[in-house]
Structure formats: structure tokens, C-alpha cells
Chain A
Amino acid sequence: MNKRLEHALNCEVQDQVPFLPAIYEHKAWFVGATPSQVARNADLLTSAVLAEYERVQSDALIVGIDVYNVEAEAIGCSVNYYDGNDNSVPAIGSKGAVFQGTEGVASLRMPDPQKDGRMPLNLDAARNIVKLLGKEIPIRGAVSGPFSLAAHLAGPGAFFLLTMTQPDLAKELLKFASEVIKQYGKAFIELGCGVIVFDSHASPDLLSPQMYHELVLPPTQEIIRYFRGLGLQDVPLIIGGNTTRILNAYLETGANNILCDTKADVKEFLEKCSKARRAFRRNIDSSDFLEVNSDEVFHRALNSLEESGRYPGFILGSAVLPYGTPLSHLTAMREAIREYKKRASSV
């Protein structure tokens, strides 16, 4: 088993900085398919993750393409898929919401991870990948965070408004969402897989720190406690945007590793995460990865490493990579890690 990531998660010195680029829809590109095709076929998804492992050589793998949709779809939200060569990312449509405030949470059906929507498909792929690579590299099943799932169930705009107009109902929906996530995550864990929780709808770019604390933190803590209770040590929590303003609450979630997105203040993450002995993944800006050359990617990665690479809990990552990102960009990030290691050891 690759121990590099494990050492970083324990904030222990490792041989080199771990590498975790955010590859979801881009997985499909490795097998010459579209995100819509791979998201609906367990064998293709398995092949895509295996191809990613071979070509990217990152330090953990994630099972999932459209990571925010799976639970919501299993509850009844409709997802738009794309035909032919259209490489758009499957997404819940504007009329996809299933939660109607008037009927309350009782109208929602608790999905069965073994039967409903694409949960079984993702679990099948996870089973295949764990069987083939489980002894070599950590495998994580993608699950939604409670706020993001609730936002999909009600429709994002309606749910944000609900938090103001009917906060108790919003809390009820968050509680329901948490139960769904716990059951889906448990199914991954039973396969010998880890989980990774995505909750970017709760980003402070949209939600106030106070609301995060009141509404999102309690169910998030509960989910993470639950996964930990099932024996899982590593529970990453991904929230994009400038999370500096909620960093204390982010650490209070209990997630053992968190995200320092491009917009967040890395100095504050370094200070607070080292005090809390918590690992974090720092994203380099990859929004223009389809436009820039690999030298630019190398320099961005090296700058980030020079800024934070001495912290043993530091992990180098990227924001979500667009479909079709040149492989040379990922190679450049890996090369930057090697270059940084060479420079650091010669000092």
C-alpha cells in the first residue's frame, strides 16, 4: 500500500508531497468516452478509474463522475445526460427538485444504496476497483455533503431561501439528507473503500459563517462521527471557494483532511491546520488548464509547494479538471513535486 498519503494525513514526514488532482468528469476522457456514458456504466467507470491510476499516478482514487448527483437522483431528482459526443457533465435539471416544502420531509423516500438510482452502479465500480487496486492505493467513494444534497432535493434557490423563511424545515431536510449520506457511505465502507464528502453548496461564497455553524456543522459532524464509528480513519471533507472565514468550523467538523481551495488563504490554513494537526489539500488554479501550457502548470505547482510544502500535512491538488485536460499538465504537477523534493533535500 502507498503510505505517502497516510503519512500526510497523520501530519508525519513523508518521502514526498502527495498528489491529489480533482478528477471526476475528466476520468471519462481516459477511456475515450463521455462523462454521460461513464456515469451510467459500472464497467466503463471501473476502466476509467484504472486508466486514471495508470496515467496520473495520484496518491488516492475517487469513484464517481458527477459526484453531487447520485444520492439526489436515487431519491427521485432527474439528471440530464447528454447523447453522442457531447462531453457536458451530467447535472440535475432546473425542474429536478423533489422536495416540496408544503408536504415536508415525510414525502421523501429513503433510497436503498443496493437498489436505487446509480448507487448500485457506483458501488459495483468501487467493488471492482477495490478488488484490483485496494492493496496498492486508497480508494474513496464520493458522497454528497448534507447541505449540497438538501439543496439538490429542494432546488438550490428554494433551499437557500428556506434556510431563512423556515429554518426548522431546512434542518429537517438536512437531517434526512444526512441519513441518506450515512447509508450510502456505509455501503462504500462495507466494500473496503473509504469515502470523501463533497459539500461545496455550503461554501462561504454563498452561505454566511454563522449559518454554516448553525445549520451545516451539526449534521456534518454527525456524518463524520458515523463514518469514524464504522472504523474509517480518513474522512476528507471538500468545500470549495474561500473557506478561510469558516476555517474554525471546518476543523470542528472532525474531517481529518480538508480543502484549501485556490481562493482561500493558505497562510491561515497552515497556521490553524498545524495547530490542529490536520492535513489539507491545496488546489492550484486550474480554471484555465485548457488554455495554458504545461510550463505554466509546473510553475503554479512549484510556487504552491514552495509556499506550503514544508508542512507535513500538505497535499498538492487542483480544482476540478476539465474534460480533456492534457495529460502533460498532470505530469507537470508531478514533476513539480519531484523538483521541490530535490530542492528541499539540497538545502
Chain B
Amino acid sequence: MLTLTEKIIFLIVVVLSGSLAVAGFTRIFHAISRGHGGLPSWETFKRRVIPMSMDIVLQRPIFKTRPLPSLLHAFVFFAFGFYALVNVVDVLEGFVHFSTTGQGGVIGIYNLIADVLSFLGLAGMAALLLRRFVQKPFAIKSDVLLLPEARRGIARDSLIVGTFILTHLGARWVGQAFHIAETGAFDPFQPTASVVALGLSGASEAFLTAGMHVTWWLAIGLILLFLPYFTYSKHIHLMVGPLNWIMREDRPMGRLEGPVKNGHVGANQLQDLRTYQIMDAYACIMCNRCQDACPAYLSGRPLSPAALEINKRYFLNQNLSSFAGGDTAIPPMLDMALPRAAIWSCTTCAACVNICPMGNRPMLDIIEVRRYLVNEGDELDANLQAALESFGRQGNSFNKPARQRAKWAKEVAPPIKDARKEPVEYLWFVGDYASYDPRIQENTQAVAQLFHQAGLDFGILYDAERNAGNDVRRVGEEGLFEMLVEQNMKAMEKATFQAIVTTDPHSYNTLKNEYREAGLKVPVYHYTEILDDLLHTGKLTPVNRVDAVVTYHDPCYLARYNRITAPPRRVLSAIGARLHEMERHGEYTHCCGAGGGCVWMESAGEDRPSVQRIREAATIGEDLRYFVVACPKDMAMYSDAVKTAGYEGKIEIVDIASLVLQSVRRPPAERTEPEPLPKQQEQEPSKTKQAEPVDVEKEVVA
């Protein structure tokens, strides 16, 4: 089809554009390679390439939220994906005398798929552009650090990429119409292009030929023109995003890697991050889904995980050659990616990690910078510093003596076993808030009563328990975390037990995922799992139905990090509560604002996440009575929030254990003939029977 001149021009442009693109990709490769930890292993790639490709083909990570835009994206994605083949065929058509138009059989099916996808892709892209430029949903608040070039560049880049896709797909689609018009017959395998061809009926031969050449160049030539720009545009996500998913190491979200060490601890500059963290910048498609899920951003804090990735990307775009070449004279992360106020706003709730369609983990950057700041003696929030010092001395954040840790247990009868003195089946790791906070001790005693009533063989470490260190680690104080781990491991070595149960989701996370490296071998359970089991096996029998509408707040470290969402719901169902879900629940739960050390820091004068959450619960309706929590910190956070939100006396914050206790406690009159509630349906085999090994490799993120 092409003339000889066209063929020569095409080949010259291929070489020119190809070399520019290769140079660009090489620079990006060198930039990413500056990160720590090396490139992911070939083994990882082989293990993950098939399952992750399935997820990507099915667009699973994208459909987690925003269903309509995700569908539009899927149209563009499928069209673009299929166009990889279409473009090859079109180049062949250009160089060899051959045409698919009007053919049937396999080629007909190929034409049908291309035709339908062209139409859907065009419609999808047009709708997405309308959404971006008319509806404008992609604002980033002005108090969030966003590099000036990024603030200007995002919309421009979107317009260029969108126009490219529209032109590329559109030109090819119209090009097919010219081919069809040339044959003069309606091609049943290219229905939409044939409709366009109707408009060309009667056009001259010369016009059709010219049209075919122009559209060919617009479709295929444009790719060549776009290719060098591609490395600078967010469109590169279509390559780096899937790579990001496939190359990601198998590691539970709740198990942090130790700090990067690059002459100092943690990340000061971009090159102090790990390779995958630099790669995140290239995978980011700037969709701001993380920002929409971020409790810090939503409560008016100057943190946007999206802005973090976008800043990294624009910084790299502007300094790619020097950065790839090993330049170390670059601004610190604090100046170019996210300032202190943003760093210390993160609750490490991992909503950004969970929602990112590209598999990015902005939260890990934040923790790495925190590690650097803590280790460099950067000025800390006064309350945070006091908490850390208290951990160092007393092993808790309450600045209370270690020997008062088990004071709450004095009021429990019969006395709770000291696991250091006699063997127990379950070691109950109580946690700081459950032990020390006077508002919560009553719940802790309720848990003890339930365990006693069920005949559970359990004990505690009394004053030898220390904070498990989950949030200390996420504050960036790795040394203190290690110290707490050592102290707890030393105490646990003195005890004999087969499993751990904990009342605190934060402790649960680190005990389950991170204490393994210190040698903890037994399975770890959250108390809702144990209560579920005790109710299921009849060791606890509900006699009073909790006849009320309740909602359940999933703790981040339980639901999002460790996917424990079913047991607490089964417990609520077993005691007869009528559960109404909030919009954000399960793995999509919304953080209370306490995690990652934020519970110890000042954050006054804002619309706190916990207060927003109470308002969200209130939308369930007037008859909502209990806001059920399964985390001692939640009890503290929401007891305050319900007052601030103005729902005190309407919605009661209650720990799941105290509801269960209400339900199984027999009123004195009925003591002789208890009428058990009908037993809950068999849903899942009991998980908490005995010490069974936990699947370490099981990934909880994807």
C-alpha cells in the first residue's frame, strides 16, 4: 500500500524514534537501578507472571473502586491491548500487498474484535477525557506539596496521552472505513467501520487512496512520534504497572523490611529508596485513588500519597539524565516529595497500598523517610517523643510503670494464670491500651471473663509484657522496635504456650508477621477469632439475643492488613445482632486516625477521621444503636469522636467482647433453664482449634 518513499521515510523514523525511546528507557532503567535491594529476582517473575497477568487482564486491581471509570478504562485497555496485534498487521499491510478487509474466517473474527474494540476504546477514551476536563475530579489541595511542574504538567500530559489514544484508535478506525469504501461492500465483520464507510460511498478513488495513506500515518506513524515522549508521560504505566505487580516480592503487607542503609539509616534522598519504590513513580497513573482513600488527606492534613508519587515522577522527568548518571546533589525527599507535616500525618493504614491499581506502596516511602528523620535526631512532635521515651523506659506509651501493666487483672476471678509460671494453651498478649487505658480495662476484663466462662486455658505475661512495637516500627524507630521485640521474646521464652491470642490488632499484626524473624513460631489469633471459635463450638452459648442494629468498624491492621473480616461478623451474627455495614468496610475500611503513631501526636483543629467515621455510621439510620469495635485504640478514638460528632447517647461505642458477654451472661432468673439461641449456621470450619502452621508465604496484599 505504501509508496517506496513512504516506506523509506517510515524506516528512517523507526530508527530515529526507536533510538530516542531506547535511550529514554535506558535512563529510566538506570534511575530505578539506583534504588536499594537490587532488581527483583527471576524466580519472583516466574512465580508471579501468570497469576498476576490474569489479574491484570481481568483488570481486577482497577475494579476495586470507581466502577464506571474502571469500565471505561477497561475498554481502552482491551482496545490498546488488541492493537498490539492490529498495529503489526497494519504495518504488514503497509509494506506487503495484502488486505484483511472483506475477509471472513479467522481474519473476519480478527476484524470483528478490532472493530468492536476500536469503537469501545474510542468511546471509553472520549468519556474519560470528558470526565477529566469537564467534571475535573483530580484536584490536589493547594496545601499539599506538589512540584510546580507537576501542577501544570498533569493535565497537559493527560491531554496529550488522551489525544494520542483518540487519534491512534480513531485514525485506524476511520482508515478501515476507507478500506471498506474501496471494496464498495458492507463488511459484516467490521460493522462500526462499515457505518462510517457509508459516508464515503461515492468518493473518488484518489480520495480513498489518500485517506488510506493519511489514516495509516496517523495511526502507525503517530506511535513512532509518541514513542520518545512515552518515557516522560504517565502512559508508561501500561508497561511499568504490570511489571510492578509481577515483580513485587511475596511479603505480607504487615511485614516491613528493615531500614535502608545508605551511609545513614532510612531515606533522605530519592536514591535511598528501594528499587521498587523508585519504580512506583513510573507506575503511577495519577488517578488519585489513594488520595481519595487516605484518612490524612480526607481530614485536611497536607498529605496526599498521590502527590508523593507524582512529585517523584516529575522530579525524575526533569532530572532524569543526571539522576540516572548517579548525581547525589539532589534535594532531600522532604523538599521535593513530601514535607515533614505530610510525613507525620500518615496513619500507616495502608489504604493507599490496598487501593492502588498499579501496585504502588507510597506508605513505605513515608516510613523510610521517618526512619531517616528519627535516626538523624530531627525534632519530633513533643507527644510522640514522650511516647517513645516512655516505651524505652516502661515499655508502654502511657508513662506508667511496667509493674502496673496487669493491674486490671486483679479484679478478675478466678485469677488469670501467669504464663511464665505454668504452661497454658493460649498466651494472651493483652496490649497497651487494653492494659493501661482506664476506659478500656473493663472490656479487657470482659474478655477475661469470656475466656474463663468458655474454659479456655490461657495466661498472660503480667508485668513482663511490653508493647509489641507495631506502631513504634511504623513511626520509624527501628532500634526501639528491636528492643521491644527482644524484651517480649525474652519474656515469652520463659512461658510455655501453643498459640497467642491478642486483644490488639496492631500487636496482632506485628506478632503474626514480624516476630517470626525473631523466632516466634506459634500461630497468632485475634480475640475475635477465638470468640468466633468458642461460639461455634458451643463453649460459649448465647442466651440473650443482642436485639439491636449494629455496625462494625474493621480495624485496619486486622481487616486490611490481615484480612480478618469474617470472624467478628460471625460473632455478631451468633449473638443475634443485626449488622448493617458502613459503606467502607472489610478491606476498604476507613482508618480511625490512630495508627502509625498518630495516636500520640497532636492533630487538633481538623475534621478527624474518627469523627467522619461516626458520621458515616450515622447514615445507617436512626435505629443504629451500637458502633462495634474490636480494637482497644478504636474504643479510645471513637469514645471521643462520638461526642465530637454529636451522637453521644444515640450511638454507643462498644467492644465486641462486651456484647458477647451481655449475650452469654445468664440473668439470675433464667439460670436454671437456659434457652440457647439457635446455633449459627455452619459457615466455615473452625480455624482456631490447635497450633496449625500459618501460611507464611500467603500474600495478603493482592
A, B: real partners? no
Interface residues of B (CB under 8 A from A): none
